């Protein structure tokens, strides 16, 4: 946050090769165009007329993604690798497929290698063979959830081993599909490769089902995740309203950011309490969750609670350190609430029925829905274009509805949160009519 914004993109060197893709270089001829390196997008678009901005600094502008007329690599010399890391997310296969198809059909690259099971697949102590990729292999993979390459967490501390593997395979292009930890490691890997004077384009496609990466308008798979979470909340509502003092409790993903919970709440009428990591809440006390829940049951006879896994950690955090991806261990707020609410109802002599649903794995593993498929196709395609133009240490991002190049270090420098003062959260409050604050004091 203290760091200044600088959206300047690094390149491996000058582009001296003509792209094999035939496009127009003129605007106005009704033909699709190459993208030029001086086409930019504004990031910050809010304005007050009373305080008009005077000028943009170059570093505030985001470079447009897309095919360049001149590229860095001779396609015949390219050996590209694709790796998927971290937890599953809808759309992984769509991204893989788009990268492969764009490299193969548009640039005629013929050496594309899938790294198995995340960064682990680079390591010498791991025996699984790499996966040759071509259009036949990826033809139908978008109809399946998960990733055909497999995934794993961690190994960000094995950068030298990974760089050795890159050298051994003569890779000059690496596509890393993963989240915060993955992209931090990809940055470290790129720097190690530079130290070794290797010209390797490292291009990331940001993946976070929680939608919590900075400068990224919407992460792929997020809409599909919300659509599946909606099904779980519908079930919880049916269970709740079919029982005397029925309580439906659903836990969804959202370690540090409650975007899935917030959007799910807006998509469906039936959430009465939406709990997210960004908004503290008390369980006890007159303005706590239990008191409000009791009132709701008295008035309406049933209630639905949607909780993001990272919410209410003050009650369950055990300070247990981090997992292999570098994420801190979360206490299980869903099971904790289930137990606390059940106990509360007993102590209040309230005959109640609580049904707890955790649909997380069913959400993560679902295939991308069409709108996410479109998005993944375009992310992957733009990643291929960026790498062919010798651009590196960047992520493909959608900003203000334009595909842009985003320096990797900018994206990993901080998280994206649900702003309690945003229009999004305000709309959640309107739909749930839950108290703006559920804390005592």
Region 302-331 residues binding its own copies, contact defined as CB under 8 A: none
Q: Which stretch binds its own copies (CB under 8 A): 26-34, 188-196, 292-300, 310-318?
A: 26-34
Told to check if 260 binds its own copies by CB under 8 A, we report no
Told to check if 136 binds its own copies by CB under 8 A, we report no
Window 390-409: residues binding its own copies (CB under 8 A) = 400-403
Q: Which stretch binds its own copies (CB under 8 A): 54-62, 176-184, 191-199, 303-311?
A: 54-62
Q: Which stretch binds its own copies (CB under 8 A): 163-171, 194-202, 327-335, 416-424?
A: 416-424
CA atoms within 13 A on the CB side of 439: 8
332 given a catalytic annotation: no
Q: What span, in angstroms and rounded, lies between the C-alpha atoms of 282 and 399?
A: 36
Told to check if 369 binds its own copies by CB under 8 A, we report yes
Told to check if 38 binds its own copies by CB under 8 A, we report yes
- Applying CB under 8 A, among 105, 108, 196, 318 the residue interacting with its own copies is 105
Q: Which stretch binds its own copies (CB under 8 A): 9-17, 47-55, 198-206, 288-296?
A: 47-55
Q: Are strands 40-42 and 80-84 parallel, antiparallel or unpaired?
A: unpaired
Told to check if 436 binds its own copies by CB under 8 A, we report yes
Closest CA to 382 of 15, 117, 74, 66: 66
CA angle 7, 9, 14 (to 5 degrees): 155
- Given the residues 210, 270, 282, 372, the one annotated as active site: 210
Cβ proximity to its own copies, 3 vs 45, nearer residue? 45
- Applying CB under 8 A, among 117, 119, 122, 273 the residue interacting with its own copies is 117
Q: How many chain residues bind its own copies (CB under 8 A)?
A: 108
- Applying CB under 8 A, among 68, 79, 120, 296 the residue interacting with its own copies is 120
Cβ proximity to its own copies, 191 vs 414, nearer residue? 414
DSSP label at residue 438: B
User: Cβ 246 to its own copies, closest distance in Å?
Assistant: 8
User: Cβ 77 to its own copies, closest distance in Å?
Assistant: 22
Told to check if 213 binds its own copies by CB under 8 A, we report no
Decide: 16 and 69 in contact? Cβ < 8 Å: no
Write out the E strands in 99-208: 112-115, 131-132, 173-178, 201-206
Q: What span, in angstroms and rounded, lies between the C-alpha atoms of 232 and 206?
A: 26
Cβ proximity to its own copies, 113 vs 152, nearer residue? 152
3-state secondary structure 300-319: HCEEEEEEECCCCHHHHCCC
Radius of gyration of the chain (CA): 24
Told to check if 109 binds its own copies by CB under 8 A, we report no
Furthest C-alpha separation in the chain: 78
Decide: 116 and 130 in contact? Cβ < 8 Å: yes
Count of other CB atoms within 10 angstroms of residue 211 = 25
Mapping DSSP to helix (H, G, I), strand (E, B) and coil, where does residue 248 land?
strand
Residue ranges in 366-417 assigned as alpha helix (H): 370-388, 408-411
User: Cβ 440 to its own copies, closest distance in Å?
Assistant: 16
Count of other CB atoms within 10 angstroms of residue 291 = 17
Told to check if 234 binds its own copies by CB under 8 A, we report yes
Decide: 255 and 361 in contact? Cβ < 8 Å: no
- Applying CB under 8 A, among 10, 11, 214, 235 the residue interacting with its own copies is 235
Window 153-172: residues binding its own copies (CB under 8 A) = none
**Which residues lie across from 350 on neighbouring strands?**
none
- Applying CB under 8 A, among 74, 269, 322, 339 the residue interacting with its own copies is 269
User: Cβ 95 to its own copies, closest distance in Å?
Assistant: 13
User: Cβ 65 to its own copies, closest distance in Å?
Assistant: 8
Decide: 209 and 240 in contact? Cβ < 8 Å: no
Cβ proximity to its own copies, 268 vs 293, nearer residue? 268
User: Cβ 420 to its own copies, closest distance in Å?
Assistant: 4
Q: Which stretch binds its own copies (CB under 8 A): 16-24, 75-83, 167-175, 304-312?
A: 16-24
Told to check if 271 binds its own copies by CB under 8 A, we report no
CA angle 339, 308, 211 (to 5 degrees): 165
Token couple for 281 = 């809440």
Token couple for 307 = 């909780």
Told to check if 286 binds its own copies by CB under 8 A, we report no
Told to check if 342 binds its own copies by CB under 8 A, we report no
Q: DSSP of 207-223, one letter per residue?
A: --TT--BTT-S--TTHH
The catalytic residue positions are 210
């Amino acid at each position: 946050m203290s760091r200044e914004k600088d959206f300047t993109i690094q390149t491996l060197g000058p582009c001296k090769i003509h792209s094999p893709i035939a496009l127009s270089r003129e605007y106005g001829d009704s033909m699709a165009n190459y993208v030029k390196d001086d086409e930019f997008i504004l990031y910050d678009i809010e304005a007050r007329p009373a305080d008009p901005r005077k000028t943009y600094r170059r570093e505030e502008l985001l470079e447009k993604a897309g095919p360049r007329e001149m590229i860095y690599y001779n396609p015949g010399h390219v050996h590209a690798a694709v790796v998927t890391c971290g937890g599953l997310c809808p759309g992984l296969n769509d991204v893989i497929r788009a990268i492969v198809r764009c490299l193969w059909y548009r640039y005629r690259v013929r050496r594309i290698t899938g790294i198995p099971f995340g960064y682990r697949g680079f390591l010498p102590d791991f025996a699984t063979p790499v996966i040759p990729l071509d259009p036949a292999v990826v033809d139908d993979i978008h109809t399946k959830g998960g990733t055909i390459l497999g995934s794993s967490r961690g190994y960000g501390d094995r950068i030298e081993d990974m760089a050795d593997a890159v050298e051994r395979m003569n890779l000059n292009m690496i596509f890393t599909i993963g989240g915060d930890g993955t992209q931090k490691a990809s940055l470290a890997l790129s720097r190690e490769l530079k130290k070794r004077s290797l010209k390797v384009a490292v291009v990331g496609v940001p993946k976070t089902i929680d939608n919590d990466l900075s400068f990224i308008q919407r992460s792929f798979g997020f809409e599909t995740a919300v659509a599946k979470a909606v099904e779980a909340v519908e079930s919880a509502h049916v269970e709740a309203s079919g029982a005397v003092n029925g309580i439906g409790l659903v836990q969804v993903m959202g370690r540090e950011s409650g975007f899935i919970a917030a959007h799910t709440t807006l998509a469906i009428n039936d959430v009465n309490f939406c709990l997210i990591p960004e908004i503290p809440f008390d369980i006890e006390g007159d303005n706590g969750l239990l008191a409000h829940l009791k009132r709701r049951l008295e008035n309406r006879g049933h209630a639905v609670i949607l909780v993001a896994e990272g919410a209410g950690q003050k009650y369950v955090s055990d300070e247990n350190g981090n997992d292999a991806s570098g994420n801190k261990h979360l206490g299980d707020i869903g099971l904790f609430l289930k137990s606390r609410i059940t106990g509360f109802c007993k102590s209040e002599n309230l005959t109640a029925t609580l049904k707890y649903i955790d649909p997380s794995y069913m959400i993560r593993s679902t295939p991308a829905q069409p709108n996410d498929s479109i998005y993944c196709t375009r992310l992957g395609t733009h990643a291929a274009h960026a790498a062919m133009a010798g651009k590196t240490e960047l992520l493909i991002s959608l900003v203000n509805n334009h595909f842009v190049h985003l320096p990797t270090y900018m994206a990993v420098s901080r998280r994206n949160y649900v702003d309690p003062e945003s229009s999004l959260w305000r709309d959640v409050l309107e739909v749930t009519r839950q108290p703006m604050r559920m804390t005592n004091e």
